[in-house]
Structure 1
Amino acid sequence: MPGLPDEEFDYEAAVRGCAARHRDALEHLYQREGARLLGVARRIVGDAAVAEDIVHDAFINIWNQASGFDPARGSARGWLYSITRHLALNFVRDHARLVPVDEAVAARLDADVALQDWRDRHGLAWADYAGRMGPCLDELPAERRNCIVHAYVEGLSHSEIAQRLGTPLGTVKAWITRSLKALRDCLA
C-alpha cells in the first residue's frame, strides 16, 4: 500500500480495517499519512517533539474511534486530518502562554482540509475539472481562499462564513468578489 498514488489508496477501507482491529490497517495509514500529519501538527504547535506526541495521540484516537467514522460526513482522509488538527489546536489553546497562535496558518489548514475532502469525494473528476483551478486557488491569500472554499465547496452563505471566521460580513463579501475576479483572470 505505501507508495501507491493517492487515487489507488483506499483510506475508507483502511479506517474500516482499524475499526475491525486490523493492526496492519493502522500501520498502512501511518505509513501513508504520518509524515504529512506530523507537518500539520508541527505548523500548528511550532514544536517538533510536541507535534510527534500529537500525531501519536491522533493515531490512538483513529484506532479507538474508527468504528464511529461516517463516510457520509466526509472523506476518511479528511477525518484523519481533522483529528490531528483538533488535537494540535487543543494543545495550543491549553498552552496558550507557551505556543503562539498563528491565525494565517490555521486559516490555510482549514482551507486545505476542506479542499482535500472535496477532492477525495470527487475522485478523478477533480483532476479533469480543476487541473487549472488548483494553482489559481493556491495564489490567493489564505483568508480569501478560505472564503472561496467555504462558499463554493462547503456551500456556506456569506453570513455563515463571516460568523465562522469572526470577520465582518462586508469584508467576507469583498474577499469573495476579489477572489472570484482573480480566479477568472488566472483561468483566462
Structure 2
Amino acid sequence: MTLSAPAFDYEDHLAACARGDRQALRRLYDVEGPRLLGVARRLVKDTALAEDVVHDAFIRIWTRAATFDPARGSGRGWMFSITRHLALDFLRSQERDVELDERNEPALTDTGELDGLLHGARLTQCLDQLEPLRRACLVHAYVDGYSHAEIARKLDSPLGTVKAWVKRSLAALRECMG
C-alpha cells in the first residue's frame, strides 16, 4: 500500500492569506504559479507580459483573499479566474490603445503581434457568445486541463452530454473565429 500525499488545500491557504500569512501566499505561488503562467502566456502570447499578469494576479490574490467564498467555487478556480480576467483585461486595454492612440501606428508594422492581440479579443467575444455550461466545459477542458469525465462529475452532467457540448462548442468557436 502506497501513501499518497495529501491534496493541496487551496481554500485553507487563501484563508491564511486573508489573515496575513505570507508563507501561505508563497506556497500558493509555488504550487500554482507555473500553471497560471501557462494560462496567461496562452492568452497574451508573450512570456514577459504573462509574467506581469501572474505577478498582478498574485497581488490581487493576496489583497482580496478575504473576499474568496468557497460556497461559490474552488480556491484554485478562483485563482485561475483572477489570472484569466487580468490577462483578458490586458488584451482589451491593448486593443483600445491600438484603436485610440495613433502614435502607436509605426509599432503596428509587426502584423503577427497585432493579429495575436485581435485574435485573443475575438476569442473572448466568441466564448462570451456560448451558453454558460458549454463555455464552462471548454474552460475546464482547455484551461483547467480536466478530462471529459472530470468535467461531467464537476458539472453533474452525463459524460455523453459533456462530450457533445465540448464538440459543438469547439465547432461554434471555429465558425465564430472564421
Q: TM-score, normalised by structure 2?
A: 0.60
Deviations 1:129-187 (Å, cap 9, x if unpaired)? Answer: 99x949x849944725999xxxxxxxxxxxxxxxxxxx8xxxxxxxxxxxxxxxxxxxx
Tell me what 1:50 maps to: 49
Tell me what 1:89 maps to: 88
RMSD: 3.9
* One-letter code aligned to 1:100: L
Deviation of 1:114 (Å):
4.8
Structure 2 CA distance for partners of 1:25 and 1:109, relative to 1, 3 Å: farther
Structure 1: give runs of 5+ residues left out of the alignment.
Answer: 148-166, 168-188
CA distance in 1, matches of 2:171, 2:70: 25
- Of 92, 102, 118, which residue of structure 2 is paired with 1:100? 118
* One-letter code aligned to 2:119: V
- Of 143, 146, 164, which residue of structure 1 is paired with 2:169? 143
Q: Which moved more, 1:108-117 or 1:9-18?
A: 108-117
Structure 2 CA distance for partners of 1:48 and 1:142, relative to 1, 3 Å: farther
Deviation of 1:65 (Å):
0.1
Q: Does 1:34 align with 2:33?
A: yes
* One-letter code aligned to 2:41: R
Based on CA coordinates, which of the two structures has the bigger radius of gyration? 2
Whether contact under 8 Å (1:41, 1:51) holds in the other structure is yes
CA distance in 1, matches of 2:75, 2:171: 23
Deviations 1:64-123 (Å, cap 9, x if unpaired)? Answer: 000011111111111000000000000000001352333458849854545688x8xxx9
CA distance in 2, matches of 1:145, 1:9: 35
Structure 2: give runs of 5+ residues left out of the alignment.
Answer: 99-113, 128-133
CA distance in 1, matches of 2:168, 2:43: 15
Aligned length: 136
Tell me what 2:70 maps to: 71
Whether contact under 8 Å (2:137, 2:166) holds in the other structure is no
CA distance in 1, matches of 2:71, 2:88: 25
CA distance in 1, matches of 2:20, 2:171: 38
Q: Does 1:23 align with 2:22?
A: yes
* One-letter code aligned to 2:30: Q
Deviation of 1:44 (Å):
0.8
Aligned-pair identity in percent equals: 46
CA distance in 2, matches of 1:146, 1:76: 30
Q: Secondary structure at the match of 2:119?
A: coil
Whether contact under 8 Å (1:137, 1:145) holds in the other structure is no
CA distance in 2, matches of 1:14, 1:146: 38
